[in-house]
Amino acid sequence: MEQLNLSFPEQLFQEAWGELEEPALDGGWELFTECMGFTIYRLYDQQSGLYAYKVFGGFSDCSPQLCVDVYMDLEYRKQWDQYVKELYEKEYEKGKVIYWEVKYPFPLSNRDYVCVRECRDLDVAGQKVWVILAKSFAIPQCPEKPGIIRVGSYKQSVAIKSDGKNGSKVFMYYFDNPGGMIPSWLINWAAKSGVPSFLQDMQKACKKYPQ
């Protein structure tokens, strides 16, 4: 069993903010879709038959600090994300983990995640950049529940900085293998609307965030 280690390698933070300056799209990344001022690329993962995604764009009317506050606020997420069934952070001996159960449409089983995440605000050449990293994590204190499929392969990184006006410039990397018997074509098809609709919900959530 992997030891609970909350620190992500320094290099991952650098890679995330580096994508804001210069998107790294070599090695098979292809244009997937464009919406709401965001451009979404995807990369095929041979092993799972699924895609990883990179999202580039921004929210012209949400400041970086606001985006970060909304993204990190688990209690608020329960209000604006219709797919959340259960979501909380729990402190263990070696650090905090997040438990998250996601509603899936009938007849599919719900999925749940146990993950760790870390948020840092960095000074990059005199400019403030926020980077949030998250990944799935197995610990014995969070065993699998009957009837719910545990997602064992989930990774996300987000980098946010000011767009120089009143908004934010955003980069997001995302990979998620929901497991179970869902055919990969169906998961890939669902992502076409799923990724853009998350961005839309997030933008609305920023505008309504209680100060």
In a domain, 1, yes or no: no
Our count of domains for the chain comes to: 1
Percentage of the chain modeled with pLDDT above 90: 74
Q: Report the alpha-carbon distance of residue 191 to residue 168 in Å, rounded.
A: 24
In a domain, 196, yes or no: yes
In a domain, 5, yes or no: no
Q: In this structure, are residues 139 and 97 in contact, taking their beta carbons and an 8 Å threshold?
A: yes
Residue 5: pLDDT above 70?
Answer: no
What pLDDT does 188 receive?
Answer: 86
Q: Report the alpha-carbon distance of residue 68 to residue 99 in Å, rounded.
A: 19
In a domain, 3, yes or no: no
pTM: 0.92
What pLDDT does 1 receive?
Answer: 35
In a domain, 88, yes or no: yes
- The two three-digit tokens of residue 150, written as one number: 């545990």
Q: Report the alpha-carbon distance of residue 156 to residue 9 in Å, rounded.
A: 14
The CATH number of residue 30's host domain is 3.30.530.20
Percentage of the chain modeled with pLDDT above 70: 96
Q: Report the alpha-carbon distance of residue 67 to residue 88 in Å, rounded.
A: 19
In a domain, 140, yes or no: yes
- The two three-digit tokens of residue 75, written as one number: 């209690």
Distances (CA, A) of 210 to 79, 80, 94, 170: 11, 12, 32, 22
Q: If you average pLDDT over residues 9-29, what whole number do you get?
A: 94
In a domain, 116, yes or no: yes
Identity of the residue numbered 201: D
In a domain, 2, yes or no: no
Supply the range of the domain harboring residue 66: 10-208
* Among 113, 64, 67, residue whose Cα is nearest residue 89: 113
Strand, coil or helix: 15:
helix
